[in-house]
Amino acid sequence: MVESDITGAARLLAERHARHRAAQPLLSARCEDREVTERLVTEAWKADDASGAVAVADGRTVGFLLGAPKPSATWGANTWVESGGLALHPSADPEVMRELYALAAARWVDEGRRAHYVLVPAHDGALLRAWYRLGFGQQHAHGIRAVPHEPTPHSPGVTVRRAAPADIPVLARLDVELPAHQRRSPVFSAAPVPTLEECAVDWEESFDDPDFAYLVAQLDGQVAGTAVCCALEKSSMHRGPAAVEGAGYLGFAAVLPELRGRGVARSLCDAVLDWCREQGPTALVTDWRVTNLLSSRTWPALGFEETFLRLHRVVGY
């Protein structure tokens, strides 16, 4: 892929996003504008060590794929194709995407980057199947739901309030519980598990940040879980077509293992929706590991519909 391919790629991306919004109307209309997608593709093309491939038929771009590495010990030597890094013309056979990957990935692997990640619109079954046939599997999901006009009652016995400094010890424990859970089967996350002391220090340093709302759920008077919410723009994961202007973001939620299954997560989600109504967002976004059996069942059951799926492959195994 070279600079002269950007305009054609931007056109395909804008058209892809329009089709995506037809299936998922809560997504932003912004990326249906070709000027916007041209800026996004240009930024992606200018990223350090970015590379990719284009498909051309009868002098017209019918597909593109563009990725770049992210510096991270957790992700390995990698290439990421973000939500704005791929598109096909609707008339193109999904096999074209497999050809694009075959060409682009040869360079990525030659450069030593064997861990490959790609965000694919969740509604496009044919495109997803093309990636599955390249050895990719689902790793992570982005989800969205509308904020209802009226509040819903919390689960019996559960109350939700703003966190207080006195809650920091249990908040630190909850900060450990989620990564510890995801280190176990069947997630097997490589992310390190912080210590209670590290989490407590983080909470003490960030507790008064006005950009975030920190909530705790109490079950029979005991803190049982927590949720953190903010404006979606604060999330580095949700960029390009995955960004939804004015949306709220449920960035973290955890429930103590011994108190799960009693409606705590539902009450926390309802409280975050209450926060959205107070602050103005009409949509709420979150994300989860699809191999996390708890979260991958909980968030769809609470009304979140998948918008993008992060697929993953490690070459050579």
Is residue 237's pLDDT more than 90?
no
Is residue 134's pLDDT more than 80?
yes
pLDDT digits (tens, 9 = 90+) for 184-197: 999 999 889 999 99
What are the structural domains of the chain?
Answer: 3-135 (3.40.630.30), 146-287+295-304 (3.40.630.30)
Give the tokens for residue 314.
Answer: 């490690």
pLDDT, position 155: 80
Contacts of 57 (CB under 8 A, 6+ apart): 92
Is residue 286 within 8 Å of 143, Cβ to Cβ? Answer: yes
pTM of the model: 0.94
pLDDT, position 297: 97
pLDDT digits (tens, 9 = 90+) for 6-17: 999 999 999 999
Counting residues of the chain whose pLDDT is more than 70, the rounded percentage is 100
Phi and psi dihedrals of 262, rounded to 5? Answer: -125, 20
Is residue 267's pLDDT more than 90?
yes
Average pLDDT over residues 122-144: 97
Is residue 257's pLDDT more than 90?
yes
Average pLDDT over residues 88-112: 97
